Every structure is written in C-alpha cells, then in structure tokens.
Chain A
Amino acid sequence: MTQKLPAKDVAIIGLGWTGSIVANELTDEGLDVVAIERGPWRDTATDYPPSYAADELRYRIRHELFLRPEQTTFTFRNKMDQTALPIRTWGAFMPPNGVGGGGVHWNSETWRFLPSDFTLRTHLTKRYGAHFLPADMTIQDWGVTYEELEPHYDRFEYLCGTCGTAGNLQGHIQEGGNPFEGPRSRPYPNPAQQQPFSHTLFAKAARELGYKPFPQPSGNMSRAYTNPLGVRMGPCTYCGFCEWFGCGNYSKASPQTTILPVLLRKPNFQARDNSEVIRINTDRSGKRATGVTFVDTAGNEWEQPAQIVILSAYTVFNVQLLLLSGIGRPYDPVANTGVIGRNFTHQTTSDVTSFFDPAKYIFNPFIASGSIGMCIDEFNGDNFDHGPHGFVGGGYMGQVQTNGRPIETTPVPPGTPKWGAKWKEAVRENYQSAVKPGTGVHGSMYSYRDVYLDLDPTYRDRFGRPLVRMTIDFHDNELKQNAFLTDKFAEIFRTMGARQILKEYRKGPYDITAYQTTHLCGGAVMGTDPKTSALNRYLQSWDVPNLFVMGATAFPHNAGYNPTGTVAALAYWSAAQIRSRYLKNPGPLVDA
C-alpha cells in the first residue's frame, strides 16, 4: 500500500549536481523542497576520508561509489536487429549513485561548449551545405544560445572555484587561454593549476607545431577558495586520486564542497536518501505531474505530492522514468516519430601512448589531479575546416594524464609479453618515462536515427519494470573524425621526442565493456519543436509543464568536451526561468 506524505512545493528526483543547484535556487525563492535520492548519504570525512580515499582497488577496480548493477542496470545492443542483453558489470560508463551523484567522483574538468554547438545544424548547413551531413544524422539546434547561457556558466564556475586561463574575455583573445572559446564575461575565479613535466613538454611541442595550448579548466583547486555561498575549499595536493574517487581534502568541486553545506541549513529543504523514485505521477489529463512515488529500503512505497517535479537523475534514468510514467511520446526510430529516447549519444575518445627514453625523462606521472592537463582546441567542434575531410565534429586533445596509480598505470611498448618477468621489467623501465593521457582525444558524438533508448521487451528490474535498452553504435562520421584527430594528436608526441608511439584509435563496433567516459547524453532533448524535442529551451517538458528535466539528457548531441559545465549552466538557466517566470504564471514557458 502506498502511504501519502504531506505535499511539498517541489520534489527533486536525484541529489547530484543539478538536483543540488535547483534545490538551492528554489529554496532561495522560499519554496518547500524535498530531494529524493536513490543512493546513500555521502560526506567527505566519513565516506572518502584521506585515510583511505586513495584506495585504487576499492574505488577504481571495485567501483565503490557507483550504482550496483544488482540494484538496476540497462540492456545493450549495437544494432536494431540484435537482441539486447543486460549489463552486469559497468564498462563503457559509470552510473553514479548517492548524494552528490557524479559530482563526487568526477575529474572536475569544467568546460564550456562552443557557441556553434548550440546552433549546430544551422551552423554546419550554412558552412558546408545540407548535403554534407549524413542523411541519418539527427543533430539539431538547442533552442538556447551560448550568449544566453554565459551568465549561468559563470555562476557555476564561481560556485566551483574553477581554475583556468581565460582565452576570450568579452571578445578579446587572451594569451595562454583557449582562443576558440566563446566570450566570457570575466576571468576564471582561480588561476590554472600547475602543470607537471610531461604536460609542460606537450604544450611546448604543440606550440612548435603552431597550436595554442592552454591549461584544462579545473575544479581541483589551485589555491584555497571561498565560493559566493560562503563555502570553503582547500588547495589540491595533486595526489592523482580524483576520477572514480571522492576527494578527502575538500579540494575538488562537488555538491558536498560547494552547495550542500548551505542547502542543509535551510529549514525549507529536506533530503531523503536510500529512496528510489519509481514513477512520476500525473493527473487524469496526463498534462500535470502530481508528485512522485518512491520506495525506501524496507520496500515501503510512498507518494510525495508536489506542485513542481524536477527530474535530475543520471541521463538514462531520466529517460526511463519518463517512459515508465507515460510522459511524452516514446521515440520510434522506424516511423521516426516520438521524442523520448531520441538523440541518445555518448562520446568518441581515443588515446596515444608514447614511450620516451628512460635515461632522459622522469615524468613522475603520479603528480596529477583529475583535470590537470595542457590541451589544444584546434580540432574541436567547427574550429577547423571540415570540407576536405568528409566528417563533422571534433574534440579537444591534450596531455591530461590524471594519475600514475599502480594498478592501472603499467604502460609497456607493443610486443612486450603480457605477464611474467619480461613484462615486469618493461613496466619498471617505462613507468616513469611513458606518457598515457586519460582521454587524450575527447571527441564528440553526434546523434543518429538508429542510436536511441527504449524499454527492453524482456528484462525487468526488481519492481517488475522494464529496463532501459540502449541501441548504440559508432557511425562512419565519428570513426573518421577519430582517425583524423588521433593522427594529429600523435604528431604532437612525435614532436615532443617520443621514441615509440602507440595509437589506439576508436574503432567500431561500440564496445560496452571498455571505459570511455560517463558522458551519456540525450534521450529527452531540448529544442524548439515538440516533434523533435521532449523539452523546450528551458528544460520544461512540452507535455507536462510542471515537470523540468535536468542534465545531459537534454543535449541534442554530445560536443567534444566534458559535459558538466554545460549541464550545470542549463540547470541554472532553467532555475532562473522557474524563479522569474514560471512561479508567477505556472504553465508552458514556450507556446508549442
């Protein structure tokens, strides 16, 4: 039996970055807000203290901070004519779980997308003609512009204390920054982190080749910082245990280190952990959300009525809840109708491992942080002429080696035996002198008609609900893009003086077992036309106007950057609209 709780103004599903941001904005507005989180409570000193935060086996190999597939998972297939099977061990991406969400275990690479990313189809069609794009590519304009999002990017960067070197200040290109970025209204709140030896050499080689390298924008603090909410962070120690780990030193921007201390003090905010939302409830018309239903660990079912529902779980779970709640028309790739599940994307990464003379180079790879790195942006988005190359898209690339952790960091030249004394000798010889960036080429993945999410016809979760089925494969456009970028990347290491270079191109078919990034995007995208988007430009559901959907779920395509900066900017943008317009006049913010 479902027990009914007293009504709240706002029910938030998932207390990660976007849930925390929206909760803080709406409680500032005086609304009574409850956030319902599937996973456990997480706090620095008790859950990832420095006394064991640097445990590679626990956090990296055994996936301590992530959702356990036993609780829920997805099914996967490459092609529409295949039968999907459930994922039983995470591989290609790591679904977060618990308070803070992905903000606990991210690397904190805090990028902005390019202005052209938000008007992608218009931009590319204008430059290259409509025929240049593959027929089944479903990219579209986002309905929001970079200029509109700029103040919200800025808010997130100042919340996090992002460390970086501005490349474009109000239209003026700055030495040492990324000259391709959109204009920013003011500099980063903190200077860039210091760069280790190999990163510095990479930048030098890149400059020799005529590129303009710049430090990767980082949420690992280059110095102590107090954010506008009064929450304090300490300087990063460059320990190299960042991605997959929580930071024990209060040095990495996360909901815990930037917002939650303030949010938790508010009497009009409540958080429920270990509570899994199983449904967004709607009234009989189906046009209005009445709240959510969740299940606690005892198996009790609770109804939480609310005036506004904010869906801010991980990408795929957002889509699953929409499908299971009957909100929005499910996407049908054959008929090419519907929107829920459409424009699902991931990423196209690759790497280059280079081996240097151990007698000349000691790189000390363990001196690192999650978003350390020297990058170039010459081959991202539409920063270069794609005309001669026959593909669209791109990515940043850089020496972004984030760790030298002992279990993972065993670079050996091709031809080395896979085990035994010879292997050990090769590891010993190369550990200090090999360069292996984490995701060296961080390429975009554009959207296609046959890459999508829907409900699996066979596999169900413990509540009897269908799992989400992912249908995803690489298309030629992305593989061409990757080959081009990987070659360009390798050239820089050759210039740097590597004696041996190993190019690891991204190849099809899409592999669910090998980690790329956790940047799953799309599935309920934003746009200007309800026929091709689930959300309007304010992340408001076209179908249920008192439902707002946060996160990369709204991205019509995935650009060549880490998504969190854009995810957060969109959350602030949406919350600002709720505060300034929706509350005064609840209803659609855009006429369909």
Chain B
Amino acid sequence: MRDTARRWRMVCAALTVLAALCATWPAGAAQSPQNFAQIERGRYLTVAADCAACHTDPVRRTPFAGGRPVETPFGAVAAANITPDRETGIGGWSDSDFERAVREGVMPDGKRLYPAMPYPYFTHMSRADVLAIRAYLATVAPVHHVVRSNQLPFPFNIRALMRLWDAWYFEPGEYKSNPGKSPAWNRGGYLVEGPGHCAACHSPKNFLGADRAEQRFRGYSLQGWFAPDITNDPQRGLGNWSQTDIVEYLKTGHNRLAAASGPMAEEVAHSSSKMSDADLEAIATYLKDQRGQSESARSVAKDDRYMKVGAAIYADRCAACHKADGTGVPYLIPNLAQSSSVDSRLPLTALRVILRGARSVATPAEPTGPAMPSFGWQLSNAQVAAVTTYIRNSWGHAAARVTAEDVGKARSSLAERTD
C-alpha cells in the first residue's frame, strides 16, 4: 500500500518537475506526460524487465539512479543512472537515443554498451513498448548521480571491442510471433525472450559470454549459483512442474516443490510477483513448450562409499526437514527428490546452499520466507561431497560424483563473495 502511495507521490512530483521543464524538453519527445495509458504500460514493463534490479544501488536505494555493479564473468559493469536527470541520467536523450540504447546497445555518443545491459534480449521488444518504458522513466524523480560504468579489467575495458562482439553474436530484431502457436504462447515468448530476459541467466554461454543458441535455457552458472535448466526436460528441467507450479513460483516465490532464493529471490520480489496472472500463465505456457535434452549422466552406485557416508549424513543432518524420502514440506521445505537444482549439470547451487545456507524470498502471498541454515562450519569438504553426491543420486536423480576437491573450490570461491 505504502509503496503504491510513494510511487504515486513520486509520479506527481515528477510531473510537476516535467511541467517546468516542458519548454526545454528535447525535440522528438513524442510521448506526453499526460499519456496515462502509455506511462502505466511503461511502468508495468519496467517491472517485467526488472530494470530497478540493476539500476538501483542496493545501498543508496534511490530507484533507477544506477551504481549497482552488475557481475559478469569478465568483471563488474555498474548500471547507469536512468532517471531523467539531464546531466547524469537520461533526461537529455531523445526517444530514438533511448530505443537505440535499449534495443541495439549503442549509446547516443556512439559508444557500445556491454551486454551486462541485456540489449541482446531487449531487442526483441517492440519500439512501442520501449518507448512506453521511456515514458514511465521520464516520470520518476531525477537524481543527480554520476556512475562510472566501466569497471572491467583490460582488455575488456576497451568498449570498441564490443563492435566485434555485436557483429559476431548480436542478432537485432523484434520478437516474431509463431502463427502455429496460441496467443498465450506468443505472449509468453515475447515476455521470456524480450523484457523478461530469462536467457541472460538460464542459458549456457560461450567463452565470450554469448548465448549458445542450441542449448537455450539449459542452465548457467553465475554469481555463485547455478541458474537451473528451465526447459521442459523431466530430468534436468521443469518437466515435473505443472503450469500452475510455474505460475505459483513466479508469483509467490514458492510452490509445492521449490523455493526461490539468491538472484531468483530478487527477481520474484521485484518483478514476477508484480506481474499479472495472465502474463505468468503465458510465460509458463511458453516454458512448458521448450524442449530440453537430458544428458545421460550415469548415477553413482548405491554401495559407493560416498553414497553410504552421504546417506548417513543425510539421515542425521537433513532428513528432519527434507524428510527421509527427500520430499520436504510443500511450500516450506523444498522437495529434493523432485528438484532439478539438486542434480543440475553443475552442483553449484547444492554446494552453495549446503555451505552457506540460503534464505527464500518472502512475498505477500507467501510471507514465511523460510531459510536453510549453513552447514559449512560443521561439515568437512569430504562430508559435503558425500552428502551432495548422495542427494544427486537418490530418488531417481543421477549425476557425477562430487569430490572433496570440488567442495574445496566452491568453498574458497564462496568465501570471496559478500552476497
């Protein structure tokens, strides 16, 4: 309630400022500050695209004023100030400037953006939708805040190299409807491929950070997590999730099988929990139609030493909450037996959650926000390896053995993380 009130107060304040600025508004500003429908549509799309997630510094908490370092495998890129401040934000940009930045990754001065800004996905949005976002952003309070975006090490800090990257990997163009599919499927496709930019986290990347088209949505590791496979694959993906499970998860952060934590908790809190049910249904329709491909992992034998030790640790440390059969408690304790995060291609998420613990997202519909405690202080690398191997090879799961060395590496890389 209060958020809404604050938002409207901000809108009103911004409108007053805009009225004063009207005379000096740059030529080509087609949108009108009176166009409620466009601004409202833009607000919704700003939520769907989760612009605030990167463009709001979590410390300063000034919406859209930028400064949050966006982590990439190559280093950090700080998100820009996208408030209508004329000097440090985008107040001086024309609509075409804005559209070119969002859909093509090119700044008004011709400099290239890094794909930490997900223009390779936003290019699939329509011009009308991008301009609606622009119209909404013009209504937020302008904040004077200089952001030094490029914090990458050499040679990645040479922006001109992005010309090559764009030439090799960037495929501009609006989302094309598939006439053979339903309107809901196509709406879902538009949201997933465009504003939702799901592939940014969930698609495997090549060595230069571009999506591997042939492996779309089959999971990718980033920020110390493994963003799981979200294809309909029954082994690795969402195959055993119903459409309702997906909708519930995106809306509330929880369903009968799983709980959102880490970067997905942020996504749920700021973006999908605020989207319409119809759009979430559309997203689920589209995802349920994405074909995956199970890799034929061989399971570790039941009488393997890792499995025996792992079973004992599981019974002692994990079973009280997750149950002996791994089924957990619906909406409270994740179901390990049916979780695709458990035997995902890489064990990163399982290791992280065991070593560091994790807090699930709390939402208005699911306010509980239960958390998994850390076991990193209590279990040795060998013990974590054994119990991880056990859960990745029980209840129908199959995955390669996790070694103490794997756990050691995960432990030291997690030690450097503050999140």
Contacts and interface: CB of A to CB of B under 8 A. Distances in A.
Interface of A: 43-46, 49-52, 224, 226, 229-235, 237, 239, 248-250, 261-262, 265, 267-268
B366 A230 contact: yes
Contacts of B374: 49, 51
Given A45-B372, A233-B332, A267-B3, 15 more contacts: A44-B371, A45-B371, A46-B371, A49-B357, A50-B373, A51-B317, A51-B374, A51-B375, A224-B329, A224-B330, A226-B331, A229-B367, A230-B368, A232-B370, A249-B320
A237 B370 contact: no
13 contacts: A45-B357, A50-B321, A50-B373, A51-B373, A230-B365, A232-B370, A233-B332, A234-B332, A234-B333, A248-B373, A261-B369, A267-B3, A268-B2
B362 A249 contact: no
Given A50-B373, A51-B375, A261-B362, A232 B321 contact: no
B317 A261 contact: no
B332 A224 contact: yes
B367 A262 contact: yes
B378 interface: yes
Interface of A: prevailing SS: loop
A422 to B, nearest CB: 33
B359 interface: yes
Contacts of B180: none
A265 B367 contact: yes
Contacts of B2: 267-268
A249 B373 CA distance: 10
B28 interface: no
Interface string B359-388: 100101111111111110010000000000
Interface in B149-195: none
A231 B367 contact: yes
A232 B320 contact: no
Candidate in B359, B373, B375 with the most chain A CB atoms within 10 angstroms:
B373
B332 A45 contact: no
Contacts of A262: 367
Nearest to B378: A51
A27 to B, nearest CB: 11
A20 to B, nearest CB: 14
Contacts of A237: 320
A230 B332 CA distance: 12
Nearest to B1: A267
A403 B216 CA distance: 53
A230 B331 CA distance: 11
Nearest to B5: A267
B375 A261 contact: no
A267 B375 CA distance: 33
B297 to A, nearest CB: 29
B373 A232 contact: no
Interface string B195-235: 00000000000000000000000000000000000000000
A565 B320 CA distance: 28
B371 A234 contact: no
B375 A235 contact: no
Chain B interface residue number, banded = 20 to 34
A197 B331 CA distance: 32
Given A50-B321, A234-B321, A265 B357 contact: no
Nearest to A43: B371
The 3 closest A-B pairs by CB, nearest first: A49-B373, A45-B371, A267-B2
Contact of B329 (A44, A230, A235, A268): A235
Contacts of B333: 234, 250
A50 B321 CA distance: 9
Contacts of B375: 51
B384 to A, nearest CB: 13
B372 A232 contact: no
A340 to B, nearest CB: 39
Nearest to B362: A261
B317 to A, nearest CB: 7
Nearest to B376: A51
Contacts of A233: 332
Contact of B370 (A46, A226, A250): A250
Contacts of A50: 317, 320-321, 373
A158 to B, nearest CB: 16
Candidate in A224, A234, A237 with the most chain B CB atoms within 10 angstroms:
A234
A43 B3 CA distance: 26
B294 to A, nearest CB: 32
Nearest to B328: A234
A471 B79 CA distance: 66
B362 A232 contact: no
Given A43-B371, A49-B373, A250-B370, A265 B364 contact: yes
A171 to B, nearest CB: 36
B321 A230 contact: no
Contact of A261 (B357, B368, B373): B368
Nearest to B319: A237
Given A45-B357, A50-B320, A261 B367 contact: yes
Contacts of B373: 45-46, 49-51, 248
A90 B218 CA distance: 58
A183 B155 CA distance: 78
A134 B359 CA distance: 57
A250 B374 CA distance: 16
A577 B320 CA distance: 42
B252 to A, nearest CB: 10
A84 to B, nearest CB: 43
B240 to A, nearest CB: 20
A43 B373 CA distance: 11
B368 A231 contact: yes
Contacts of A231: 367-368
A265 B362 contact: yes
B318 to A, nearest CB: 9
A234 B334 CA distance: 12
B331 A232 contact: yes
Contact of B367 (A43, A51, A230, A234): A230
A69 B371 CA distance: 32
Contacts of A230: 365-368
Contacts of A267: 1-3
A530 B253 CA distance: 52
Contacts of B331: 226, 232
B356 to A, nearest CB: 11
A250 B359 contact: no
B214 to A, nearest CB: 40
Contacts of A250: 332-333, 368, 370
Candidate in B329, B357, B375 with the most chain A CB atoms within 10 angstroms:
B329
Contacts of A268: 2
Contacts of A52: 378
A43 to B, nearest CB: 7
A250 B378 CA distance: 21
A232 B368 contact: yes
A51 B375 CA distance: 7
Interface string B60-103: 00000000000000000000000000000000000000000000
Contacts of B366: 230, 232
Interface string B321-358: 10000000111110000000000000000000000010
A44 B1 CA distance: 28
B397 to A, nearest CB: 23
Interface string B388-404: 00000000000000000
A237 B333 CA distance: 14
A226 B372 CA distance: 19
Nearest to B6: A267
Nearest to A227: B368
A379 B53 CA distance: 63
Contacts of A234: 321, 329, 332-333
Contacts of A239: 320
Nearest to A238: B320
Contacts of B357: 45, 49
A451 B366 CA distance: 48
Contacts of B369: 261
A52 B2 CA distance: 39
